Amino acid sequence: MAGPRLLEADRVLLVPDPPGAAPRLAECRLVHLDPTSERMVVTPIDANEPLTAVIDAAVLVLVVRPGEPLFARSCCVEARLEAARWVVLVPTGTWQRLERRLVERTIVTVPAEGHRYMTTGGGVAVRGTVRDLSMTGFCFESEMSLALGELLLLEARPPGDEMLRIRGQVVRIVRPQSGPTGLWQAGCQFWGVPLVDQERIALVVSASI
Average pLDDT of the segment spanning 152-180: 79
Q: Is the pLDDT of residue 167 over 90?
A: no
Q: Is the pLDDT of residue 73 over 50?
A: yes
Q: Are residues 115 and 202 in the same domain?
A: yes
Average pLDDT of the segment spanning 74-81: 91
Q: What is the mean pLDDT of the chain?
A: 78
Any domain includes 130: yes
Q: Is the pLDDT of residue 103 over 50?
A: no
Average pLDDT of the segment spanning 98-126: 71
Any domain includes 4: no
Closest alpha carbon to 94 in 69, 73, 71, 64: 73
Tell which phi-psi region holds residue 134, choosing left (phi > 0), alpha (psi between -120 and 50) or beta.
Answer: beta
Q: Are residues 140 and 184 in the same domain?
A: yes
Any domain includes 28: yes
Q: Which of 91, 117, 137 is the last residue of a domain?
A: 91
Per-residue model confidence (pLDDT) at position 44: 87
Q: Are residues 20 and 71 in the same domain?
A: yes
Q: Which of 91, 125, 140 is the last residue of a domain?
A: 91
Any domain includes 54: yes
Q: Are residues 171 and 130 in the same domain?
A: yes
DSSP assignment string, 39-101: -EEEEESSTT------TT-EEEEEE--TTS--EEEEEEEEEEETTTTEEEEEESS--B-PPPP
Q: Are residues 145 and 119 in the same domain?
A: yes
Confidence at 23, pLDDT banded by 50, 70, 90: very low
Q: Is the model's pTM score more than 0.95?
A: no
Per-residue model confidence (pLDDT) at position 128: 93
Q: Are residues 67 and 39 in the same domain?
A: yes
Q: Is the pLDDT of residue 30 over 90?
A: yes
Per-residue model confidence (pLDDT) at position 166: 83
How many domains does one find in the chain?
Answer: 2
Any domain includes 38: yes
Least trusted range by pLDDT, from 6-20, 77-91, 92-106, 175-189: 92-106
